[in-house]
């Protein structure tokens, strides 16, 4: 049944009665429906009036089918078709996630390597009642220590998180990072890109009372983080003096992670898995392992990858996510550790403007990361380097024409000069890499190729002039979805994008989407002109939710 103002109902079975009193009013106008849906602090009452379906304000609602005949026949009351209680962003997700981490909202910004997930992002999120993870991956120990000291000073009583990334080609640096986190008293770590448990992440978990949020995309890796640490690794850590027997005993009674972030199709390291199938799979796995281990509190499951619009946030919570994590869209915000040039490129990206390219940290393993392809030639150039690495045993074995192309276009210097710079870098960071490179020319070639892959991200972060075609910009299809959502709004311009404004709009919008969906389930179908328009300034959101 249609209505002139664009409101219809497929079912008019009343669920109660609305009794007007005082200044109570009702209206069939789309603008009043928009206002009612957006006012999250108030219930939404949809009644059947002489003008059709209308939204009521004030009065009293009596729910149930036990209403008296006199009440049903009274001209002063009207049947209620749908009733929505207030819904605030704080009610989304798992309340224990909020209480354990000291948060107001079940929302987190994930770590973006090389400090793209900046201290500015972490501070802004924490002060707004949300969680931010500092992008420590790829940084020197001194840079990580400097960031931790600043966060501890500026956020003395507020939560923050620091990334610990799996580094299979640099296990010594991974262990040194874990030791730094322990010594600095960092109480919350986001473990990412792990293919298997390592001594470093197990050491952090066993040696501290800190919490771990593990980002995973595969069942086999999720199983390891949902289980206690292996006895073998605990024994090795005891033997090396990294943990005590008492710490190992305590660690064996709890899972490796307090929270599991299910990472679907995302920027950076990703398996391009669809969230709609991956999240339920990991939740079911958690439930099976909880029956096996019977932890006092089961690990929580959140969702990352593709989180970029109110509808995607609402879908995540509707599927059972305890919290949501955003990534690509934060890199386009003013607080990110990237450059204005990159922010502009990201703000113009569409969902199809991404592709996979070889990863710097796991180059030899053939692992790939998802990056922006629009406006840069990095994906093709990185793929060329990996093709040469796979095909030839050494730099010298590559045909001269190919070597000249690499030196002229990518390295912009001789192989020998870049090797000298690379050697100097690893003398400070991980000398064991040089021992292997001296005896293995293929490894030496890999380290030089990784020089290009590693610097390409830093060139992007600095907005390096002349290197625009080599910018490596980690990005997933969520960026395009976000740009489509904010088109025509104040958030279309990257200079207006702040992480808190983006986050508050996504959470607010998710509540509106969920309310609209509940109305549909009650048989009330709203057309688009009855739907609140987003995004909104934070002051307006506060008015609607307070």
What are the pLDDT digits (tens) for 457-475? Answer: 999 999 999 999 999 999 9
Give the DSSP letter string of 338-353: S-HHHHHHHHT--TTS
**What is d(CA 8, CA 524) in angstroms, rounded to the nearest whole number?**
6
In the chain, the largest separation of any two C-alpha atoms, in whole Å, equals 96
pLDDT value at residue 2: 47
Which tokens hold the place of 306? 């593709």
**What is d(CA 160, CA 111) in angstroms, rounded to the nearest whole number?**
11
Residue 44 is inside which H or E element, if any? strand 44-49
pLDDT value at residue 68: 52
pLDDT value at residue 377: 97
CB 507 within 8 A of CB 92: yes
Instruction: Please check the confidence at residue 73 and state whether its pLDDT lies above 80.
Output: no
Can you state the angle between helices 231-239 and 199-207, rounded to 10 degrees?
Answer: 80
Q: What is the mean pLDDT of residues 3-26?
A: 75
- Give me the CATH topology for the region 90-340: TIM Barrel (3.20.20)
Q: What is the mean pLDDT of residues 217-234?
A: 97
Q: Kindly report which listed range (122-126, 294-298, 516-520) carries the lowest average pLDDT score.
A: 516-520
Strands 78-84, 16-19: pairing kind: antiparallel
Partners of residue 524 on adjacent β-strands? 9
Angle, CA 182 vertex, CA 176 and CA 184 arms, to 5°: 100
pLDDT value at residue 12: 64
**Mean pLDDT score across all residues of the chain:** 93
Of residues 209 and 119, more confidence is placed in: 119
Q: How confident is the model at residue 64 (pLDDT cuts 50, 70, 90)?
A: confident
Instruction: Please check the confidence at residue 52 and state whether its pLDDT lies above 60.
Output: yes
Taking the CA of residue 80 as centre, how many other CA atoms within 13 Å lie in the half-sphere pointing to its CB? 23
Taking the CA of residue 412 as centre, how many other CA atoms within 13 Å lie in the half-sphere pointing to its CB? 7
pLDDT value at residue 4: 46
Q: Is 31 exposed, middle or buried (0-12, 13-18, 19+ CB in 10 A)?
A: exposed
35: Cβ–Cβ under 8 A, 6 or more apart, which residues? 532
Q: Is 211 exposed, middle or buried (0-12, 13-18, 19+ CB in 10 A)?
A: middle
Q: How confident is the model at residue 452 (pLDDT cuts 50, 70, 90)?
A: very high
Instruction: Please check the confidence at residue 280 and state whether its pLDDT lies above 70.
Output: yes
Which 8-state DSSP code applies to residue 117? S
Length of the chain: 546
Rama region for 138: left / alpha / beta (φ>0; ψ in -120 to 50; rest): left
Cis peptide, bond prior to residue 97, ω within 30 of zero? no
**What is d(CA 55, CA 259) in angstroms, rounded to the nearest whole number?**
41
**What is d(CA 237, CA 245) in angstroms, rounded to the nearest whole number?**
9
Strands (E), 359-426: 368-372
Hey, is 23 helix, strand or coil? coil
pLDDT value at residue 126: 98
Q: What is the pTM assigned to this prediction?
A: 0.93
> Where are the domains positioned within the chain?
7-86+511-545, 90-340, 377-470
Instruction: Please check the confidence at residue 101 and state whether its pLDDT lies above 90.
Output: yes
CB 284 within 8 A of CB 244: no
**What is d(CA 388, CA 398) in angstroms, rounded to the nearest whole number?**
7
Angle, CA 213 vertex, CA 111 and CA 112 arms, to 5°: 5
């Amino acid at each position: 049944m249609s209505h002139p103002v664009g409101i219809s109902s497929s079912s008019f079975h009343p669920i109660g009665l609305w009794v007007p009193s005082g200044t109570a009013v009702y209206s069939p106008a789309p603008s009043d429906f928009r206002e009612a849906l957006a006012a999250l602090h108030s219930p939404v009452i949809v009644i059947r009036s002489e003008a059709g379906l209308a939204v009521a304000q004030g009065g009293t609602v009596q729910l149930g089918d036990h209403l008296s005949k006199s009440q049903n026949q009274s001209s002063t009351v009207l049947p209620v078709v749908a009733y929505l209680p207030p819904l605030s962003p704080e009610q989304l997700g798992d309340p224990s996630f909020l209480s354990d981490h000291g948060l107001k909202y079940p929302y987190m910004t994930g770590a973006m390597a090389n400090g793209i997930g900046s201290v500015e992002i972490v501070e802004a999120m924490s002060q707004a009642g949300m969680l931010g993870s500092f992008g420590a991956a790829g940084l020197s120990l001194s840079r990580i220590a400097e960031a931790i000291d600043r966060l501890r000073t500026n956020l003395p009583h507020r939560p923050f998180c620091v990334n610990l990334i799996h580094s299979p080609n640099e296990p010594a640096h991974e262990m040194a990072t874990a030791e730094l986190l322990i010594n600095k008293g960092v109480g919350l770590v986001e473990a990412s890109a792990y293919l298997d448990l390592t001594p470093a992440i197990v050491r952090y978990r066993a040696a501290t009372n800190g919490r771990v949020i593990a980002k995973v995309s595969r069942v086999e890796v999720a199983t390891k983080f949902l289980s206690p640490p292996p006895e073998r690794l605990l024994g090795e850590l005891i033997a090396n003096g990294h943990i005590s027997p008492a710490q190992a005993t305590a660690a064996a009674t709890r899972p490796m992670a307090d929270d599991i972030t299910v990472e679907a199709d995302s920027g950076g390291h990703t398996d391009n898995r669809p969230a709609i199938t991956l999240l339920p799979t990991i939740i079911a796995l958690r439930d099976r392992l909880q029956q096996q281990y019977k932890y006092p509190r089961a690990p929580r499951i959140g969702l990352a990858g593709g989180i970029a619009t109110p509808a995607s946030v609402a879908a995540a919570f509707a599927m059972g996510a305890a919290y949501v994590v955003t990534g690509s869209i934060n890199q386009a915000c003013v607080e990110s550790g990237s450059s204005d040039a990159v922010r502009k490129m990201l703000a113009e990206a569409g969902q199809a403007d991404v592709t996979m390219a070889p990863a710097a940290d796991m180059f030899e393993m053939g692992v790939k990361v998802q990056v922006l392809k629009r406006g840069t030639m990095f994906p093709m150039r990185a793929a060329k380097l990996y093709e040469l690495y796979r095909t030839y045993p050494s730099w010298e074995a590559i045909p001269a024409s190919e070597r000249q192309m690499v030196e002229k276009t990518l390295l912009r210097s001789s192989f020998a000069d870049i090797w000298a710079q690379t050697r100097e870098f690893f003398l400070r960071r991980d000398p064991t890499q040089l021992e292997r490179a001296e005896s293995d020319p293929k490894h030496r070639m890999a380290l030089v190729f990784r020089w290009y892959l590693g610097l390409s991200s830093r060139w992007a972060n600095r907005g390096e002039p002349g290197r625009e075609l080599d910018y490596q910009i980690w990005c997933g299809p969520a960026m395009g979805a976000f740009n489509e959502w904010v088109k025509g709004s104040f958030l279309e311009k990257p200079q207006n994008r702040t992480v808190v404004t983006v986050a508050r709009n996504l959470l607010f919008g998710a509540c509106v989407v969920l309310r609209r969906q509940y109305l549909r389930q009650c048989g009330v179908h709203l057309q688009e002109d009855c739907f609140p328009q987003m995004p909104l300034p934070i002051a307006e959101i506060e008015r609607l939710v307070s």
